[in-house]
């Protein structure tokens, strides 16, 4: 079996706040990545239908604001309902082209009543099956005004050729215990997805790679003020509150030695492909394996709750 795989980094902008149009863009990139020989293609955080850039720009914390209610209602309407089949077509595309996908979505979770929104990282395998849905554990700062708090159910890894791949959303990549939950499952290809900024990806990508002795693929979205369409609610206000790039990308890849394989790229839509060789992981683990020979489970251990949280259980 080959020890190498090709991974595609799809740095694109959404059709902002439009689920179906954005999923069409995603599908196009999936096909392009498959044609380029990729076994995995990765997209940014909250790409479908887009990151809530309005919150910090339109007084998002104002209580009982008609503006914030209207924007949230539109966001919820365009969010992804996995239980409704919103990702079925994309799953079929993955199966047809035999390629795996990591996709950042805003999930309207039916198992939590169907109205609250979660920042979810969805893994779709090359068989077209959804392997995991990781709901962001702790939304960052103003994100908490529109996103609910997730759980540990999606802290899972997946076999991809010689690699074991897992991933996290944005700033939860900074959480050492959460990273360790993936390391402990054998992760050696870490996927970090971001709404889009090289200020986020530039340092932590190389740090996680160096810490874990793994490949780290950071993928970001793009968003420019010009991407705010006229038919969105309060479009004129949203456009006037934004200047230039709201998300400038910064997608990149670091090797197990912490050195760049692809340096951060900004202000440009692209599909970049990188070849990763698992032998480099084995070489790097010779002197440091943070959950293997360099760990002391008799002294420090981590307990992880992967139960999907729910408000009620019913016995019929």
Q: Residue 121 burial by CB count (10 A; 0-12/13-18/19+): exposed, middle or buried?
A: buried
Whole-number Å distance between alpha carbons of 59 and 61: 6
Given 136, 187, 252, 265, the catalytic residue: 136
Computed on alpha carbons and rounded to an integer, the radius of gyration of the chain in Å comes to: 19
Whole-number Å distance between alpha carbons of 271 and 257: 24
How much helix, strand and coil, in percent to the nearest 5, is found in the chain?
30, 25, 40
Whole-number Å distance between alpha carbons of 302 and 178: 10
- Among this protein's residues, is 136 annotated catalytic? yes
- Among this protein's residues, is 280 annotated catalytic? no
Q: Residue 237 burial by CB count (10 A; 0-12/13-18/19+): exposed, middle or buried?
A: middle
- Among this protein's residues, is 91 annotated catalytic? no
For residue 11, the surrounding DSSP H or E stretch is strand 4-11
Pairing mode, if any, of strands 130-135 and 40-42?
unpaired
Given 45, 78, 187, 211, the catalytic residue: 45
Whole-number Å distance between alpha carbons of 39 and 160: 8
Beta bridge partners of 219: 193
Whole-number Å distance between alpha carbons of 202 and 263: 8
Q: Residue 63 burial by CB count (10 A; 0-12/13-18/19+): exposed, middle or buried?
A: exposed
Given 38, 91, 170, 252, the catalytic residue: 170
Whole-number Å distance between alpha carbons of 212 and 163: 14
Active site residues: 45, 136, 170
């Amino acid at each position: 079996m080959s020890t190498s795989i090709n991974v595609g980094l799809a740095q694109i902008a959404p059709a902002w706040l439009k689920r179906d149009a954005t999923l069409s863009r995603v599908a196009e990139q999936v096909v392009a990545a498959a044609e380029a020989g990729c076994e995995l293609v990765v997209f940014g955080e909250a790409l479908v239908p887009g990151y809530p850039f309005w919150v910090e720009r339109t007084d998002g914390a104002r209580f009982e604001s008609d503006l914030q209610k209207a924007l949230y209602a539109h966001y919820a309407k365009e969010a992804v309902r996995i239980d409704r089949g919103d990702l079925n077509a994309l799953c079929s595309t993955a199966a047809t082209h035999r390629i795996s996908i990591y996709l950042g979505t805003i999930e309207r979770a039916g198992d939590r009543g169907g109205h609250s929104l979660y920042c979810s990282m969805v893994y779709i395998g090359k068989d077209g099956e959804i392997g995991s849905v990781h709901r962001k554990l702790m939304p960052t700062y103003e994100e908490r005004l529109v996103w609910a708090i997730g759980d540990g159910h999606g802290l899972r890894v997946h076999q991809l050729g010689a690699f074991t791949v897992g991933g996290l959303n944005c700033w939860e990549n900074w959480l050492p215990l959460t990273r360790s939950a993936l390391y402990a499952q054998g992760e050696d290809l870490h996927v970090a997805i971001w709404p889009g900024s090289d200020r986020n990806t530039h340092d932590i990508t190389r740090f996680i790679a160096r810490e874990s002795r793994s490949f780290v693929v950071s993928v970001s979205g793009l968003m420019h003020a010009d991407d705010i369409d006229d038919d969105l609610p309060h479009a004129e206000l949203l456009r006037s509150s934004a200047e230039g790039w709201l998300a400038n990308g910064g997608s990149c890849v670091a090797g197990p030695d912490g050195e760049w394989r692809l340096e951060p790229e900004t202000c440009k839509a692209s599909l970049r492909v990188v070849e990763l060789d698992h032998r480099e992981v084995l070489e790097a683990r010779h002197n440091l394996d943070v959950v293997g020979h360099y760990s002391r489970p008799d002294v420090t251990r981590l307990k992880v709750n992967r139960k999907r949280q729910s408000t009620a259980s019913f016995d019929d």
